[in-house]
């Protein structure tokens, strides 16, 4: 499981580096205003979480979950009103065109979110094993 945890941390590091490149305008179109602040913050959170995960700290896994959560779903209304989207890292989406907008489910972020949550649950369970019933003595 340690090798899988290291692999997840490396993928998180790669995703956060891509997000940082996007936020700085090195990849894709330049971001401005609030979109830039959100994307840069998410990228830095991912980078910090990846470093902590590589050091096998539980807080790194929790940061990874916080990194992938806002990337999991996006919403773009047709009328140009409030939208929600954090495009950072690798994305492969499932698109639902609704009558009032477009809903995007990022399958890569969801898979990495589920894997990170599973590793975090495994680490927490290994840290605090359930107390087993006392064995009768003879």
Q: What is the largest CA-CA distance in the chain?
A: 76
In a domain, 27, yes or no: yes
Contact 115, 65 (CB under 8 A): no
What range does the domain containing 42 cover?
A: 2-70+108-127
Task: Say how many Å lie between the first and final Cα of the chain, rounded.
Answer: 38
Q: What percent of the chain has pLDDT over 90?
A: 51
pTM summary value: 0.82
In a domain, 25, yes or no: yes
Model confidence at 138: pLDDT above 60: no
Q: How far apart are CA 98 and CA 113, in angstroms?
A: 25
In a domain, 64, yes or no: yes
pLDDT per position as a tens digit, 43-94: 999 999 999 999 999 999 999 999 999 889 989 899 878 777 777 667 788 9
In a domain, 79, yes or no: no
In a domain, 24, yes or no: yes
Q: How many domains does the chain have?
A: 1
């Amino acid at each position: 499981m340690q090798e899988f945890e290291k692999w997840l941390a490396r993928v998180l590091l790669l995703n956060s580096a891509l997000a940082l490149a996007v936020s700085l305008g090195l990849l894709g179109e330049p971001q401005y205003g609030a979109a830039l602040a959100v994307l840069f913050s998410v990228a830095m959170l991912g980078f910090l979480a990846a470093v902590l995960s590589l050091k096998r700290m539980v807080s790194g896994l929790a940061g990874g979950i916080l990194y992938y959560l806002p990337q999991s779903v996006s919403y773009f209304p047709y009328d140009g009103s409030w939208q929600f989207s954090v495009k950072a890292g690798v994305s492969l989406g499932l698109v639902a065109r609704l009558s009032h907008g477009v809903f995007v489910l990022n399958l890569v972020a969801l898979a990495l979110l589920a894997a990170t949550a599973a590793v975090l649950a495994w680490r927490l369970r290994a840290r605090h094993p359930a107390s087993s019933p006392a064995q009768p003595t003879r």
